[in-house]
Every structure is written in structure tokens, then in C-alpha cells.
Structure 1
Amino acid sequence: MIKAVIIDDELNARDLLEKTLDRYLPNRVNIVEKCNSVDSGVTAIRNHAPELVFLDIQMPEKNGFELFNYFDKINFEVIFTTAFDRFAIKAIKRSALDYLLKPINHLDLAEALKKFEKKNEGNAAQKKLSLLLENLNVNDQNVSKIAFPTLEGFELVHTNQILYCRAESNYCNIKKIDGSTKMASKTLKYVEGILPEHAFKRIHKSYVINLNYVVRYHKTNKEIELTNGEKLPVSFRKEEEFINAILQNH
């Protein structure tokens, strides 16, 4: 049986999906947990390591796409569920991911499961979700794409896919939200200069971070925690400037 988690803020939607699976596709899917938010879904995924996640897109506190910010590697497949979101559906189609329109039809559900069962294992899920984020970003007028110099040429990266940048001698390591890294053949100072000032801030001689992915600041330890769980140091000289930037950004 396929081990799965359902993430949907509507109780009726969660129950209906489970009942539809039990009625029309018995003994195919084992729902190990039903969650009402992205946060509880993250916990469930970490606890159960499901193969498949049924993920609602439109939820009040965090939308479904934000789930991927919490994982360095995506080791599960996703079937999106949505009542109405033409933009998201367009992006999902371009990324070759499955989606179901609510109310969910059992025939569509069966077809989605069939596709899931045929998909290759490995890092296919990670690549598709990275492509999904790229497609979403293409439709965002406020997102810029920057060309980072590399030893081979240039690497084009959407700025809102960058989690942080770390100095590596005369080079700069760029950590992306999908867990991958890119090495720019320029210093951190150079990279800092081409990033948008409103979203990125130097917090240490070795780090420039994306303010949008900061979860909390530990004043005692002088460190920040990012959405992927990583903790980075904040230097004494940069602390006040960083705090002001966070307050202005939010």
C-alpha cells in the first residue's frame, strides 16, 4: 500500500478524500495522518516519511507551495488538490505534477494514483518541484532573475529561490530553497551587490541571507533559524542592522 498524508484546512475535504479512496480504491492507499495546515503537515511528513502527499493549495495561514521550504530534499510525490486557482494549475501542468480539482472525482483520483505508481523513484520529485517553483516565479512580476558568474559561464537563478549566500574564500556558495547549491566565481561582496537590497541582508562576514526565509532570531545565541531548519550566526556588528531590516521587511 502507498503510505500517504493528506494536508487540507477543510475537515470535510480531508474526510471526503479518505472515504473516496476507501470506497473506490480499497487497499491502495494507507492514510497515516490527516493535517489541517502546512505546519502540521511538515511534522507528519517528518514523522511518517510518506511516499505521497495530497496537498491543498489554498489554505489561510500558509499556501501549499510553502511546504517545500521546510525540506532540503523532497523524498515524496505530491498530488495537489484545489478548488480554484488557474495560475497554480498552469504552473503545475508545466511542471508535469498531478493535481485534482475539488470536488474530487474518483475516476480522476484513480488516474492520478496510476500515474504515481508509474513514476520513477529517486530524485524525480525534487526536480519536478524545483521546476514548479521556477514556473511560479516566471509569472511573478516582482521576481528578478540574476546571472551569477561561474567557472563555466553564468548561472541564472530566481532571487526568491535563494535561501542564503556563503563566502568561500574568493568564491560564493549559493544555497537554494530546494536544497541544491551553486558556486559563483565571485566574492560574497560582489554577489551581495547584485542582489535586491529589500530582500537580502548581510548578517555576518560570511553570510548574506534572504529575509523572506527567516523563521526566528535567537538573541542570546546571536543566530537566526531559516525555514529549512538551518541556523546561521549573526555578528555583533550586524545585529542592529539585521533587526531593523526584518522589522521593515515585515
Structure 2
Amino acid sequence: MIKAIIIDDEINAQSLLEKTLDRYFPNKFNIVEKCISVDEGVQAIKKYEPDLVFLDIQMPEKNGFELFKHFEVINFEVIFTTAHDKFGIKAIKRSALDYLLKPISYLDLAEAVKKFEKKNEKNFAQRKLSLLLENLNVNDQNVSKIAFPTLEGFELIHTNQILYCKAESNYCSIKKIDGATKTASKTLKFIEEILPATTFKRIHKSYVINLNYVVRYHKANKEIELTNGEKLPVSFRKEEEFINAILQNH
């Protein structure tokens, strides 16, 4: 099922969209949360990690576009919903999956759902590649689980599941190959020291990466590209060390 969140300050609009989805797409959508504001939506997205967000644009305190300020990486698709067609161009520039004008017609909604499913097929191919890379390393003696300290206790993660780690003030976010992000209650420096040095390398004051998931290095832009398509900066001071590590690792 498609895990979805509806963000709209109008309760009637929320209910109508949910009923339309239930009627025309039975057993296809799981609406995990309905929110009346951007702030509520941000919390729900972080909690449920949805596949799709139906996002109203015109809301009292913050408009829908401000939601993106709260996420450095968007791991969900967005379908904008609004009663004002003047927002169309801005929505498109935000690279939204689609843009639906209220009152939402079934035909427009069906087209938007078709776009989501088509795009999701491509993402599925990436997930299969990530799973393959993980399975290839299952019996590798160098691959081990590490207990990462969290506010609740510890999170046990296979090192081969980690794409990169990012500094977040006194905390550290751990991005996994399946797209999930975990938060460790320690600094990036601490996390770097417990990761295997042969596989993980600091490329920037804010990033430690898994060398196994680097697909290319853009020297002119000073950035790497990972298997999931994300691009991360390489600092001038770390460039030579990173290049040497890549050459030795492969």
C-alpha cells in the first residue's frame, strides 16, 4: 500500500480527498495522518516517513512551500492541492509530482496516482540495487553490527547498511541504503571513530561516507555522487585523502 499523509487546513477537504482515494483506489492507500498545518505535517512526515504527501498550498500560518525548508533531503513525493491556479508554476518549480486544482476531479487524481506509480517503479529498481549490495556483503567478515547510542538506548546497524553519517550539532544522523535515517546521540567525530576506517572516510567537516557506495567524483564541483543519487561536498582539505582512499579501496 502507498503510505500517504494529507496536509490541509480545511477538515472537509481532508475528508473529501480521503473518501475519494478510498472509493476509487480501494486497498491502495494507507492515510497514516491528516494534518491541518505545515508544522504538524513536518512532524508527521518525520514520524511516519510516507511515500506520498498531498499538500495544500494556501494555509493560514505557513503556506505549503515552507514545508520544504524543514528537510535537506526529500524522501517522499508531493502532490500539491489548492483552490488557486496561480500557484501552478511555483509548484512545478518545486519539482512536485503533480498539481491538483480544487475541487479535485477523479480523472486528475487518477492521472496523478499513475505518475506516482510510474516514478515509484524506478525507485524500486534503486532499492533492489541497494538490497543486492547489502546481500553481497552478508558473509563478509569485515561487516559487523555497531551499537550506535541514541536517546532511547542503542540502535544496532550493519556497517554495510550505512551510506553516510552527517553532523547535526551535537548529534549525528545516519543515512541507510534503504532510505531510512537514524539519529545517534553522539557527535560525528565519535561516530567516525567507531566505524571501520578501511570503509568509512571523512570527506567534509559534516560528512563521513561509506566508500563502497560512491559511484563517481566530480572534481570540478568538489562533490561525490552516491548509489542513491545524492551528492555530497568534498572539502579542499579532505580531497587528496579521499581520492587516495578510493584508489586503495578499489
Give the TM-score normalised by structure 1.
Answer: 0.48
Give the TM-score normalised by structure 2.
Answer: 0.48
Q: Which has the higher contact order (CA 8 A, sep 6+)?
A: 1
